[in-house]
């Protein structure tokens, strides 16, 4: 693929950085399905797209928070959510593989398509930058952590269904 402009979505190094941000904010020290991390990463990257998700009734106020990030939409037209989500998967997989080889993510968990950050400490400069950016987007990061903890991934009421980003009908529940 030839790109004329830079887009963080198609940069595996930026994806690795976003995964570290999510780890520091939402504690990914326990095994988490890769698809959950992919969905959280998508909305960290494009917080303005979160408003199209179907929320639990008590969480509909999150749409207003998401709408406040409309100014972060990239220049030019972007594909629809499903196409974009599918296009960034190879970059997300490359980022996870890099983090596995660096020792930050468990290789055992990754072999079964799960992500588990190890106790390996992130470099201080990276940790500081992650915390700085998470603080500047505290509302969205908080929503993403709530999604991880309160919304299941699979099934007709899970993240796959509510976001419409992945097929859920054949999930074992």
Q: Where are the domains of the chain?
A: 8-163
pTM attached to this predicted model: 0.93
Cα separations in angstroms, 58 against 55, 61, 62, 67, 162: 8, 8, 9, 17, 14
Query: How confident is residue 30, by pLDDT bands cut at 50, 70 and 90?
Result: very high
Contact 149, 27 (CB under 8 A): no
Could you report the per-residue pLDDT of 78-137, keeping only the tens digit for each? 889 999 999 999 999 999 999 999 999 999 999 999 999 999 999 999 999 999 999 999
Residue 21: pLDDT band (50, 70, 90) is: very high
Q: Number of C-alpha atoms within 13 angstroms, CB side, residue 5?
A: 7
What is residue 32's three-state secondary structure? strand
């Amino acid at each position: 693929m030839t790109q004329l402009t830079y887009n963080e979505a198609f940069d595996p190094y930026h994806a690795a950085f976003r995964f570290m941000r999510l780890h520091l904010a939402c504690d990914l020290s326990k095994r988490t399905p890769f698809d959950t991390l992919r969905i959280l990463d998508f909305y960290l990257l494009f917080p303005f797209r979160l408003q199209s998700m179907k929320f639990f009734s008590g969480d509909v106020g999150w749409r207003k928070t998401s709408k406040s990030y409309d100014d972060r939409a990239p220049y030019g037209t972007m594909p629809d959510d499903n196409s974009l989500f599918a296009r960034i998967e190879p970059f997300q997989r490359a980022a996870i593989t890099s983090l596995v080889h660096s020792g930050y993510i468990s290789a055992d968990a990754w072999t079964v398509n799960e992500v588990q950050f190890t106790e390996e400490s992130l470099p201080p400069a990276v940790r500081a930058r992650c915390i700085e950016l998470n603080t500047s987007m505290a509302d969205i990061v908080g929503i993403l952590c709530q999604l991880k903890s309160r919304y299941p991934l699979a099934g007709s009421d899970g993240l796959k269904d509510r976001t419409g980003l992945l097929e859920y009908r054949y999930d074992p529940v």
